Amino acid sequence: MQWRVVTYRLVAEQSRDRVGVWRELRRVGAVALQSATWAIPVGDRFDEGLAKAVSLVERGDGQILVFDVTPTDASLSALEALYTKEREAEWSEFCSECDKALVELRGEFTKEKFTLAELDEEEHNLDRLRRWYRELRAKDLFGAPSAVPAEQQLKECADLLEEFAERVYEARQRP
């Protein structure tokens, strides 16, 4: 795995620019090493996010430096651990959102709220979870421990939604 270190400066008054760069680097999976200094894997997906961050810094009249680095074995292990810890936190949040989706769907079964509007809402929520899952899988390079349970929870959400859709269909067929 090849890595880059990115460091930048922005005008202190430009918090919007600073937040934009921070959000882009986090979105793509970079790891903050300290304020305005990040480590990011090399690769198409990561390079695209880095290019966006560079553009944001330049648009904010800042300066950005990007270094290709070869970490020592100890540094590489530490960097991979930091990276995996970040992914683990994201998987944990994802699992929490899956739990909420399951609670919501189970509540609709309890209320017997088998409407098309509710089905549309739940399908949108599952689509959002699927997109999020794909994004997390793409940047989980080292296999965070919660990735497997997260996949299982997403499948449980999809299965329960399928059952809900069948109940909505049945309810629509009754006079």
Cα-based distances in Å from 93 to 97, 111, 113 = 6, 27, 27
Domains contained in the chain, number: 2
Residue 50 located in a structural domain: yes
In this structure, are 121 and 154 located in the same domain? yes
Q: Give the residue among 164, 166, 101 at the shortest CA–CA distance from 133.
A: 101
pLDDT at 164: 97
In this structure, are 108 and 135 located in the same domain? yes
In this structure, are 101 and 30 located in the same domain? no
Q: Give the residue among 138, 136, 130 at the shortest CA–CA distance from 157.
A: 130
In this structure, are 24 and 90 located in the same domain? no
Residues 6+ apart with CB under 8 A from 103: none
Number of Cβ within 10 Å of residue 106's Cβ equals 12
Residue 76 located in a structural domain: no
Per the structure, the complete domain to which residue 34 belongs is given by 3-70
pLDDT, tens digit only, all 175 positions of the chain: 899 999 999 987 778 889 999 999 999 999 999 999 999 999 998 999 999 999 999 999 999 999 999 999 999 999 999 999 999 999 999 999 999 999 999 999 999 999 999 999 999 999 999 999 999 999 999 999 999 999 999 999 999 999 999 999 999 998 7
Phi, psi of 42 (to 5 degrees): -90, 140
Tell me the two tokens of residue 79: 């960097």
Partner residues linked to 6 by β-bridges: 38, 66
C-alpha–C-alpha distance, residues 136 and 74, integer Å: 26
Residue 155 located in a structural domain: yes
In this structure, are 168 and 96 located in the same domain? yes
pLDDT at 58: 94
Q: What is the pTM of this model?
A: 0.89
Q: What's 56's domain CATH number? A: 3.30.70.240
Eight-class DSSP state of 144: -
| CA 67 from centre of chain | 25
C-alpha–C-alpha distance, residues 63 and 65, integer Å: 7
Instruction: Give the residue from 70, 93, 114 where a domain finishes.
Output: 70
Give the CA dihedral 31, 26, 83, 101, nearest 10 degrees: 160
In this structure, are 51 and 124 located in the same domain? no
pLDDT at 12: 73
Instruction: Give the residue from 70, 96, 125 where a domain finishes.
Output: 70
pLDDT at 174: 85
Tell me the two tokens of residue 81: 């651990």
